[in-house]
Each structure stands twice: as structure tokens, then as C-alpha cells.
Amino acid sequence: MSVPLPYYLALSAVLFTIGVVGVLVRRNVIVVFMAIELMLNSVNLTLVAFSSFLGDVTGQALVFFVMAVAAAEAAVGLAIVIAVYRNKPTVHLDDINILKW
């Protein structure tokens, strides 16, 4: 007997919420970045679940695009972290605060 669709949706909603809370409360850049990845992967879970239950392949195709884009974002994001670290040795978001009104 297969697991019903609402279970998948509930799990991915919980994972998405954990990701959002992680972005909002953690102050280490790398951890914030991991929380964002968690959000993207919970979306992937939703897409695969819908795709499977609808019997439609588009959702799974979108998952591949999301993974490719997440990889591109990871490359650029970590490069930005290194660029910041060269000028100011910190990965703590509260220390990166020159710009403010």
C-alpha cells in the first residue's frame, strides 16, 4: 500500500518551514545557505509527489532544472562568501553590516 499524497505534502511543508525558520534565525552565512537548500529540496519533494500522483512527467523534469540551478547558485554563493572573507574574515551576518540607512 502506497503512502497517500497528503503525507508527502505535509512532510515537505514541514521541511520548507524548517528552511524558512533557519534562514531567519541563523546568523552564519553557510548555515543560512544550507537552510535555503533545504527549502529548494522540500520543493523538489512536493514536485516529485505531485508528479507521481498525477501521472505526469513535467514535475520531475522541473526537479532536474531545480537541482541544476541550485548547483549553479551554490557555486556563485560560495564564491561570494570567499570574496567577502578575503576582505573581512568573517562568516557572521551581523558583522557584514556597512550598508544601512
Applying CB under 8 A, among 7, 57, 67, 92 the residue interacting with other proteins is: 57
Q: Which long-range contacts (CB under 8 A, 24 or more apart) does 9-13 make?
A: 9/46, 9/49, 11/45, 12/42, 12/43, 12/45, 12/46, 12/49, 13/42
Inter-axis angle of helices 29-54 and 5-25, to 10 degrees? Answer: 160
x/- contact string, 9-48, with other proteins (CB under 8 A)? x------x--xx--x-----x--xx--x--xx-xx--xx-
Q: Report the interface residues with other proteins, using CB under 8 A.
A: 9, 16, 19-20, 23, 29, 32-33, 36, 39-40, 42-43, 46-47, 50, 54, 56-59, 61-62, 65-66, 69, 72-73, 76-77, 79-81, 83-84, 86-88, 96-101
